[in-house]
Structure 1
Amino acid sequence: MGLRDSWNVEYQTFGAKEVLEITRLPQPLLRLWRQRGYLPEKEKGRWAKHDAYEIARVYLLSAFSKLGIAPSEASGIVGDLATDLLFFSILSGDGACEFLGPPSQVEALRRQFDESFEVARSVVQPKDERRYVVSVHGGAYKRVSDINDMIDAGASEYFSCIDLVAAGGGIAVRAQKPLVAFRFRAAHSDEPKVRRLSHGQR
């Protein structure tokens, strides 16, 4: 039996003001990116809510922009990276996930989540778990696990880098609420329920 057979998994949503606080993006730039189609603009006449994946995407567009890569160019590569960043976000910060349901079920899943990456992997399905996104001498970006290997090998005199673990931890902290909710599919509505938060693993 898989995780989703017993649990509903939901990405939390965030309003525009929260997105700005989490990603540290200036409001005029967020508005411009919406107008240019990098983000959903409106939903039934109101500003769209953004889930945790979209927040990771906004963060990466902003990070690449600061490294000199325009969103029009970066938007083609941030899709898989956003999934990987979300993976690190829910692992890196205390309280990045919440578990709701009967005490025994909640404690079992939270323990499993805190002790391994398997629950996070099954939910987010990251494409690549290497920590760093690196461009050497202005070349194409690639993923590496340990940036010290590059330094020790003298592979580059200069490079640009995004640390997905640090970025994920920052997103989780600034969100100020869980990014992902696990809700147990209780068989009986009168069962006692508890709410517990995850612990950061990195």
Structure 2
Amino acid sequence: MIAIIDYKAGNIASVKNALERLRFDWIVTSQPEEILSAGGVIFPGQGRAGAAMSELRKTGLDKIISQITKPFLGICLGMQLLSRYSEEDETKCIGIFKGKCRKFPPTLKTPHLGWNKVELNQESSLTAGIPDGQYFYFAHSYYVDAVESQIIGKTSYGFDFSSIMQKNNFFAVQFHPEKSGPQGLRLLNNFCKLCS
């Protein structure tokens, strides 16, 4: 069973649909005991960092996330909230990954919207069977300025930024795999297999 964290900031419907297509069991929950007992956890997100972290703190989920030892996948805002700090609303985040979440400079059109290429620079069980240079769907105005050792994949938009990260059991993607066609489904399938 995969727990999809419900914290009023998620693109939950499209994630549920993708897991149904892949035939994995899921539950949408904000209950700590259900999250901690799940085989794996997906942390989707869209919206603003400040409001999202406020909701997580109110429910205590920020502390629960730090305790998770099963496979964990942050998506879009979910990835950004796993950093130490976000420039959006000057928000202290969960701090799983080193580095800060920064706004794209004003010289670039934001949000960074649409399909873009991911260059893989480290092997990971999350990207098994996915060729280098595949395109995934992005929709974001902030990016995680991550440390090199935690970056699995990079994407170029004015400059290179981290689009896939990993630290131990924590994985994170800046794009939306659930909206990224066959390669996105393959990535989600890889993650779900780690959870069983």
User: Do they fold alike, i.e. is TM over 0.5?
Assistant: no
Greater per-residue strand proportion: 2
Greater per-residue helix proportion: 1
TM-score, length of structure 1 as denominator length: 0.30
Higher RCO structure, 1 or 2 (CA under 8 Å, sep 6+): 1
